[in-house]
Amino acid sequence: MAAVAAAQVPALLAQARDELGADPFERIGEGTHFAQPALFCASLAHYERAGRPAAAMLAGHSLGELAALVAGGALDPEQGLRLAVVRGRLMEAAAQRSPGAMLASLGGEEGTVREIAARFGLTVANDNAPGQIVLSGAADGIGEARAELRANGAKAIRLPVAGAFHSPLMADAAAAFAVALAEHEFRPPALPVYSSTAAAPFADVRAGLVAALTEPVLWRRTLAAMSAAGAATFLETGPGDVLTGLVRRTLPKADARSLAESEAVGA
């Protein structure tokens, strides 16, 4: 990711270094305040390297919404990076004030997963695909839910993240992020950009970006809405291929591709 960012978006990477006081890729494992700007830069770098592929609609998963809005022309890359820096700092600070954790449930009956989440006071943070739900909340509840899910035959994996993202424990960060967003102007995007918390094109960009801090990522519903709007081919333009796998699980008849896969084949 670092090499592609340096080659494709050097000015953006220089801006990130100035705002953070360090290269975000060199310290990406040290916290959300480095990881989010790094991932934002990487997403746009890979998009640029692909030649800005033509699209009928766009979507981003969580932080990826900022890159999708830039690709859709709603804001400039420099603005998007500033917001990624602020977002990362605010979420990390909120996690330090209200410690939490996240847990991926793979397999298992969906109703059972949701019932276990409710019983231990957890939020369904990501509804990613059939058989893949991520829970978020207090660390004790996550530990109890993990044991319960395993007892019910699901694979439960605690995620290596610093807090309970996409849950009410991020409320302080959301309030502060709303203030930061008010300082930025957004243009109407040139094509529909889907909010992954509303599973519909952004109606109010600021409100949607704030909601993404405390509300669940409805990725399965977002993909279904895009499919219903006519999307038959999905191209993942970021540095990985995780979202491509989620598309294939959710929409098995769709043509799902990733630049990462194509580059690996080409190599």
Residue pair 123/166 in contact by the 8 Å Cβ criterion: yes
Between CA 30 and CA 5 the distance in angstroms is 19
Residue with structure tokens 């098995």? 252
Integer-rounded Cα radius of gyration of the chain: 18
Token pair in block for residue 59: 């979507």
Instruction: Choose the catalytic residue: 43, 62, 167, 258.
Output: 62
Q: What are phi and psi of 163, to 5 degrees?
A: -160, -175
Known catalytic residue: 167? no
Q: Is 46 one of the annotated active-site residues of the chain?
A: no
Q: Where are the beta strands (DSSP E) in the chain?
A: 58-59, 101-106, 123-129, 132-137, 155-158, 193-195, 200-201, 233-236, 255-258
Tokens of 20: 């953070």
In Å, the largest CA–CA distance within the chain is: 51
Helix 110-119 with 139-151: angle, nearest 10 deg: 150
DSSP per residue, 189-244: PSS-EEETTTTEE-SSHHHHHHHHHHS-B-HHHHHHHHHHTT--EEEE-SS--HHH
**Catalytic residue chosen out of the listed positions 166, 195, 196, 258:** 166
Q: Return the structure tokens found at 140.
A: 């004790």
Identify the H or E element spanning 10. Answer: helix 10-20
Catalytic residues: 62, 166
